[in-house]
């Protein structure tokens, strides 16, 4: 186990151990944004089980691998909000390709069930 402080990949400015890691270890996210950040970090850290566990059963894939996982650089949350059991996060996620820096802009929808937030689906915005 590595006890060196690691900056959280989600870009919060906190250490991983005080940010997304507790969620990866089973703590419930309090807000859709918190869940979204922890899922971004999970893509960076390639935590397939966490991504599947936090995916709504209606849209959850059967499995996942990281063969096409881009080289994630940075997350930028533009806005987020929730109304009851529905939540939305508008974000940009930056990654590098051999051709340079690229950005995925998405509005993700989240649903809360039994006290836990789940990623449901996303709308990718074309630049």
Binding region for Zn ion (CB under 5 A):
8, 10, 12, 19-20, 37
CB of 108 to Zn ion, least distance (A): 16
Residue (42 or 59) nearer to Zn ion, CB: 42
Residue (42 or 111) nearer to Zn ion, CB: 42
Residue (37 or 112) nearer to Zn ion, CB: 37
CB of 58 to Zn ion, least distance (A): 26
Say how far residue 118 (Cα) sits from the centre of its chain: 11
Cα–Cα distance for residue pair 11/74, rounded to 1 Å? 7
């Amino acid at each position: 186990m590595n006890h060196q402080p690691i900056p959280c990949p989600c870009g919060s400015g906190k250490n991983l151990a005080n940010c997304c890691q507790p969620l990866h270890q089973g703590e419930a996210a309090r807000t859709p944004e918190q869940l979204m950040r922890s899922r971004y970090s999970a893509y960076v850290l390639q935590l397939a089980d966490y991504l599947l566990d936090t995916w709504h059963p209606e849209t959850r894939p059967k499995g996942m691998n990281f063969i096409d996982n881009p080289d994630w650089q940075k997350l930028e949350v533009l806005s987020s909000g929730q109304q009851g059991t529905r939540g939305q996060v508008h974000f940009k996620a930056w990654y590098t390709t051999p051709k340079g820096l690229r950005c995925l802009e998405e509005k993700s929808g989240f649903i809360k069930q039994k006290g836990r937030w789940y990623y449901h689906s996303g709308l990718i915005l074309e630049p």
